[in-house]
């Protein structure tokens, strides 16, 4: 904490992992002797840069850009870019740190990194978004590459932004290196299922977790926070498995539809019109909108936080438990505080931890890289099957590691341990670098 003052989210992410791996360190003192812990919490490289851009009225703005290249022991750095006004180094470092273990869990050869900017895309014109992305890439391009560092989307960065970023990269490099970014459009190197992957993968993981505990998604009442990329496709897949999603949100409030959310309306409002979720009640007057409230007030069997970090604190966790929740699936990164997670575990609530449960997005990004390298595209069914298999495997690894270290059913610890072991062993084999 002294070394990284003020980076509270980063401290929180590190504390959670270090606590989980205590039994591993007891069994493997060689990790301590070889300085694995000191090295794994220190990014290999951190880049911060100025992003100047001109708005539609000719005014000049200056934002800050970040790319934290955290760990490349098992592959090129890989992780998304977040554009949100709250972004600062502590958020990018927490995300980059978690990405190391998540990427390891996918079983694919990708290291951990993350980046972004404190730029707020809300209310900006398409032309402003494009100029910002071009300025951002004008600095970032010298630090990335298909074998070096491969960014993707995250909050505030979707297909539109990736398109502008890729266009500028290609122009600056004078080369068509499709594998430098993932989440691309389908006409220029994108992969089918990438858009849906994080949300679908979350539900595949939750399905496995429930099945291992003699439960299923069928007829369960689900509440989802957020209405962005992850939330939307988690809702779609959950509905396909026969669950009923009754509430979704954005940063301003939530909607409650007792008959089940109509996903086409959410897609229309969020993906086409880029408007607030409050619009939903205009299409469905029988639904209710609660301004300034969180979805965790709504009674449910399964809670899927898919918005942002620290969405469920200990009070909301208690409320969910009092309302009879049986499982929590973390679609967002670090959506529960560490105290909330402890409370869930004490009450035997099943928790699908973010690093494992939302790894489907980055796994499918790695499949996009593979297709780019082969200059081939797989069908929707092929990619979806690979994604499903990867999520099943991640669940098995998390379950097995938890059992091996005497914490059966604690998938948080299991995922942290399994993710850590692969990276730590690779770092050991490669010497002190
Ligand atoms: P989007 O930008 O598509 O959607 C984000 C959603 O969360 C929006 O509904 C947004 O509401 C809400 N939100 C964002 N910030 C806040 C905040 N500070 N307070 C309240 N609500 C907020 O992002 P994604 O769906 O891509 O990402 C959601 C989460 O999933 C993030 O934690 C991300 O790191 C994680 N994730 C994403 C992956 C991906 O493939 N996209 C992969 C793995 C993890 P509003 O519009 O009002 O801001």
CATH of the domain at 37: 3.40.50.10860
Considering the domain architecture, whether residues 349 and 221 belong to the same structural domain is answered as: yes
Considering the domain architecture, whether residues 165 and 209 belong to the same structural domain is answered as: no
Exposed / middle / buried, residue 207 (Cβ in 10 Å: 0-12, 13-18, 19+): buried
Q: What average pLDDT does range 322-332 have in this prediction?
A: 98
Give the residue, out of 228, 270, 368, with the most ligand 1 atoms within 8 A of its beta carbon, to mutate for a pocket test.
228
CATH number at residue 317: 3.40.50.720
Amino acid 427: pLDDT: 98
Amino acid 400: pLDDT: 98
Considering the domain architecture, whether residues 229 and 293 belong to the same structural domain is answered as: yes
Nearest C-alpha to atom 23 of ligand 1 is from which residue? 155
Considering the domain architecture, whether residues 134 and 257 belong to the same structural domain is answered as: no
Ligand 1 pocket, residue 198 CB under 6 Å:
yes
Q: How many domains does the chain have?
A: 2
DSSP 162-227: HHHHHHHHHHHHTS--GGGSSS--GGGT--TTHHHHHHHHHHHHHHHHHHHTT--STT-EEEEE--
User: Positive or negative, the Cα torsion across 412, 417, 420, 422?
Assistant: negative
| 195 CA from centroid of ligand 1 (Å) | 13
DSSP 65-116: EEEEEEE-SSSSEEEEEEE-TT--HHHHHHHHHHHHHHHHHTTSS-EEEEEE
Structure ipTM: 0.98
* Single residue among 322, 338, 354 that ends a domain in this structure: 354
Ligand 1 pocket, residue 7 CB under 6 Å:
no
* Single residue among 323, 338, 354 that ends a domain in this structure: 354
Give the residue, out of 80, 307, 335, 368, with the most ligand 1 atoms within 8 A of its beta carbon, to mutate for a pocket test.
307
Nearest C-alpha to atom 22 of ligand 1 is from which residue? 251
Helix (H, G, I), strand (E, B) or coil at 139: helix
| 38 CA from centroid of ligand 1 (Å) | 31
Ligand 1 pocket, residue 358 CB under 6 Å:
yes
Considering the domain architecture, whether residues 215 and 316 belong to the same structural domain is answered as: yes
Annotation: binding site for NAD(+) = 198, 229
Pairing relationship of beta strands 288-291 and 253-256 according to DSSP bridges? antiparallel
Q: Which residues constitute the domain of residue 305?
A: 196-354
User: Is residue 343 situated within a structural domain?
Assistant: yes
Q: What average pLDDT does range 222-237 have in this prediction?
A: 98
* pLDDT single digits (tens) 145-191: 999 999 999 999 999 999 999 999 999 999 999 999 999 999 999 99
Amino acid 40: pLDDT: 98
Considering the domain architecture, whether residues 165 and 21 belong to the same structural domain is answered as: yes
Pairing relationship of beta strands 111-117 and 77-83 according to DSSP bridges? parallel
Q: What average pLDDT does range 196-213 have in this prediction?
A: 98
- Nearest-atom index, ligand 1, CA of 194: 40
Amino acid 145: pLDDT: 98
* pLDDT single digits (tens) 59-101: 999 999 999 999 999 999 999 999 999 999 999 999 999 999 9
| 295 CA from centroid of ligand 1 (Å) | 15
User: Is residue 52 situated within a structural domain?
Assistant: yes
Q: How far apart are CA 190 and CA 357, in angstroms?
A: 23
Nearest C-alpha to atom 27 of ligand 1 is from which residue? 155
Ligand 1 pocket, residue 155 CB under 6 Å:
yes
Considering the domain architecture, whether residues 170 and 234 belong to the same structural domain is answered as: no
Contact 354, 338 (CB under 8 A): no
Backbone phi and psi for residue 68, each to the nearest 5 degrees, phi listed first:
-105, 115
Q: How far apart are CA 387 and CA 364, in angstroms?
A: 7
Ligand 1 pocket, residue 368 CB under 6 Å:
no
Q: How far apart are CA 401 and CA 137, in angstroms?
A: 40
Nearest C-alpha to atom 36 of ligand 1 is from which residue? 332
Q: How far apart are CA 205 and CA 324, in angstroms?
A: 21
User: Is residue 417 situated within a structural domain?
Assistant: no
* pLDDT single digits (tens) 336-377: 999 999 999 999 999 999 999 999 999 999 999 999 999 999
Q: What average pLDDT does range 203-213 have in this prediction?
A: 98
Q: What is the separation of C-alpha 373 from the centre of its chain, rounded to a whole number of angstroms?
A: 24
Considering the domain architecture, whether residues 217 and 169 belong to the same structural domain is answered as: no
User: Is residue 100 situated within a structural domain?
Assistant: yes
User: Is residue 3 situated within a structural domain?
Assistant: no
* pLDDT single digits (tens) 15-48: 999 999 999 999 999 999 999 999 999 999 999 9
As a 3-state breakdown, the chain gives helix, strand, coil percent values, each rounded to 5, of 50, 15, 35
Considering the domain architecture, whether residues 32 and 106 belong to the same structural domain is answered as: yes
Q: What average pLDDT does range 377-397 have in this prediction?
A: 98
* Single residue among 310, 337, 354 that ends a domain in this structure: 354
User: Is residue 412 situated within a structural domain?
Assistant: no
Q: What average pLDDT does range 288-311 have in this prediction?
A: 98
Q: What average pLDDT does range 204-231 have in this prediction?
A: 98
pTM passes above 0.90: yes
Q: What average pLDDT does range 118-139 have in this prediction?
A: 98
The average confidence (pLDDT) of the chain is: 98
Q: What is the separation of C-alpha 177 from the centre of its chain, rounded to a whole number of angstroms?
A: 24
| 84 CA from centroid of ligand 1 (Å) | 10
For residue 201, name the pLDDT band (cuts at 50, 70, 90): very high
């Amino acid at each position: 904490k002294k070394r990284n003052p003020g980076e509270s989210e980063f401290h929180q992410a590190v504390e959670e992992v270090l606590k989980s791996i205590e039994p591993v360190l007891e069994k493997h003192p060689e990790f301590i002797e070889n300085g694995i812990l000191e090295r794994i919490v220190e990014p290999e490289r951190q880049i911060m840069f100025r992003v100047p851009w001109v708005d539609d009225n000719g005014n000049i703005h200056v934002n800050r850009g970040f790319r934290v290249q955290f760990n490349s022991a098992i592959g090129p750095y890989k992780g998304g870019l977040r554009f949100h006004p709250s972004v600062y180094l502590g958020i990018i470092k927490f995300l980059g740190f978690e990405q190391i273990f998540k990427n390891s869990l996918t079983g694919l050869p990708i290291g951990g990194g993350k980046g972004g900017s404190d730029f707020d895309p809300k209310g900006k014109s398409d032309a402003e978004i494009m100029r910002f992305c071009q300025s951002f890439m004008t600095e970032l391009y010298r630090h990335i590459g298909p074998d070096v560092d491969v960014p993707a989307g995250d909050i505030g960065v979707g297909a539109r932004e990736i398109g502008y970023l890729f266009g500028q990269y290609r122009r600056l490099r004078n080369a068509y290196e499709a594998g430098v970014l993932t989440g691309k459009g389908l006409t220029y190197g994108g992969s089918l299922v990438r858009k849906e992957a994080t949300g679908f993968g979350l539900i595949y993981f939750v399905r496995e977790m429930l099945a291992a505990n003699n439960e299923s998604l069928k007829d369960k009442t689900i509440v989802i926070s957020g209405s962005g990329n992850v939330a939307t496709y988690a809702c779609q897949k959950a509905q396909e498995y026969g669950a009923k999603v009754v509430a979704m949100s954005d940063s301003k409030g939530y909607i409650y539809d007792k008959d089940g959310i109509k996903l086409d309306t959410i897609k229309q409002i969020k993906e086409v019109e880029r408007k607030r979720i409050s619009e939903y009640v205009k299409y469905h007057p029988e639904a209710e909108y609660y301004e300034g409230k969180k979805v965790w007030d709504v009674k449910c069997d399964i809670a899927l936080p898919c918005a942002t970090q620290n969405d469920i604190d200990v009070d909301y966790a208690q409320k969910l438990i009092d309302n009879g929740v049986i499982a929590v699936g973390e679609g967002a990164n670090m959506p529960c505080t560490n105290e909330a997670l402890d409370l869930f575990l004490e009450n035997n609530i099943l928790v699908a931890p973010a690093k494992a449960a939302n790894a489907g997005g980055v796994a499918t990004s790695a499949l996009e890289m593979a297709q780019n390298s082969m200059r081939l595209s797989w069908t929707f069914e092929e990619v979806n099957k690979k994604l499903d298999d990867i999520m099943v495997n991640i669940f098995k690894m998390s379950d097995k590691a938890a059992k091996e270290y005497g914490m059966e059913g604690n998938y948080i610890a299991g995922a942290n341990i399994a993710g850590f072991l692969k990276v730590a062993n690779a770092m050991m084999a490669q010497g002190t670098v």
